[in-house]
Amino acid sequence: MKIAILGVTGHLGKNIQYLFAREKTDQLYLFSRYRNAQNMQLLTYDKFHELDYDVIINCIGISDPAKIESEGNSILKLTGDIDSMILEYMQKNTNTKLINFSSGAVYGEEFDSPVKDSTLPKNLQEDNTVSSYAIAKIKSEMRHREQDKLNIIDLRLFSFFSRFMDLNSRFLISEIIRSIEENKTLVTNESDFFRDYIHPKDLFSFLKKCIEKNTINDAFDLYSKKPIAKFELLDSLQDKYDLQYEIKPNSGFSSPTGFKKNYFSQSKKAEVLDYKPKYSSLDTISEELPYFFEE
C-alpha cells in the first residue's frame, strides 16, 4: 500500500515509520517540516498534494506538557491547517483512508474516574474551561465526523512510551529515566495516579486493523492490557534499576492540561475492530526502557 505518515520525526511518527519499515511491504511517504532529519529521506508538506496514497496516518501534534504550555493557541492553528490540507486531499481522493491520532484530552481535563463507554467528549459550547490542546483535538474530531462519507478513524491516545521518546520532554517517565541515568534521587509528590502506556506493537497491530476496515468514520479509545499507578511504577523501577525517589508535598511540576488522576479509558469499543492488547503498561515500560541504557 501507499502510506503517507505525517509528523514522522515525532515520538509517535518515529515508531510507526520504524514498524512499517521493518515489514518492508508498503511504500512509505514520510512527511516532516525538517528535511532529511534522523537519517530519513523526508518530504515537506508543500509536496503533499502531488502524490497518491491509499492511507494517510497523521501523527502531527504536541504532547509534551512543556511545549503545550509554550505553544498556547498556536496549537489550534497547526491542527486546523493540517486538517484542512488532509480533508481537501480526501475530498478529491475519496478512496483514501485517514487514521488520525487524537487524544484522551477530548474528554476534558478532570479524570477523577476513568473514561467509560458512556463518557462523551466535551461540548465546547457548554464548557469553555478546557485547554487549547483539548480544544484543538475536539474540533478536529468534530470536523472528521462532519465528513461522514469519508473514511476517517480517530485514535484517542492517552499515554504512550517507547525507545523513541524524547528524554527532554516534561513527562514523569522521562524524568525517571534521567534520574536513573544520572544516579539522582527523583523528587515527587504524595499524589498517586494511573497512566496507561500503550505498547508500540499493540498500537501498530490496531493501526493495521484500522487500515483493513473498509468503510468507517468513527473514533476509538486506545488502551493497554492494564494501566499502572505511579508508585507501582516507581517501586518496580526501584527494584530493577535501583531508582531512588523521595516524596515531598507539593513538589513536581503542574500540567497545563490539569491534574489527571485516572487518565485512561475503560471503553472497549475498539473490540469491534478486534483490538486485543497483549501488553500491560508495566510490560511496555519493562520492554522499551532497556533501550535507553544500551551503550
Each residue's pLDDT tens digit, 165-214: 999 888 899 999 999 999 999 999 999 999 999 999 999 999 999 999 98
Chain mean pLDDT for the chain: 90
Predicted confidence (pLDDT) at residue 62 exceeds the cutoff of 70: no
Please, which residues bridge with residue 246 across strands? 187
Three-state secondary-structure class, residue 30: strand
Mean pLDDT of 268-293: 96
Query: In order of start, what are the domains of the chain with their CATH numbers?
Result: 2-165+197-224+264-278 (3.40.50.720)
d(C-alpha 55, C-alpha 213), whole Å? 12
pLDDT given at position 123: 85
Q: What is the CA angle 200-162-13, rounded to 5?
A: 70
Provide the percentage of residues in the chain whose pLDDT is more than 90: 77
pLDDT given at position 153: 98
Assign 295 a pLDDT band (cuts: 50, 70, 90): low
Nearest of 269, 182, 170, 261 to residue 219 by alpha carbon: 269
pLDDT given at position 65: 55
Q: Cell 505498547 identifies what position?
A: 199
One-character DSSP codes across 84-137: HHHHHHHHH-TT-EEEEEEEGGGG-S--SS-B-TT-----TTT---S-HHHHHH
Mean pLDDT of 131-137: 88
Each residue's pLDDT tens digit, 241-259: 999 999 998 776 556 556 7
Assign 90 a pLDDT band (cuts: 50, 70, 90): very high
Which helix (DSSP H) or strand (DSSP E) does residue 221 occupy? strand 217-221
pLDDT given at position 68: 53
Assign 76 a pLDDT band (cuts: 50, 70, 90): confident
First to last CA, the chain: 36
Predicted confidence (pLDDT) at residue 129 exceeds the cutoff of 70: no
Q: What is the CA angle 261-263-269, rounded to 5?
A: 145
pLDDT given at position 229: 97
Predicted confidence (pLDDT) at residue 63 exceeds the cutoff of 70: no
8 A C-beta contact, residue 93 and residue 151: no
Each residue's pLDDT tens digit, 203-244: 999 999 999 998 999 999 999 999 999 999 999 999 999 999
Please, which residues bridge with residue 247 across strands? 188
d(C-alpha 243, C-alpha 202), whole Å? 27
Predicted confidence (pLDDT) at residue 150 exceeds the cutoff of 70: yes
8 A C-beta contact, residue 95 and residue 150: no
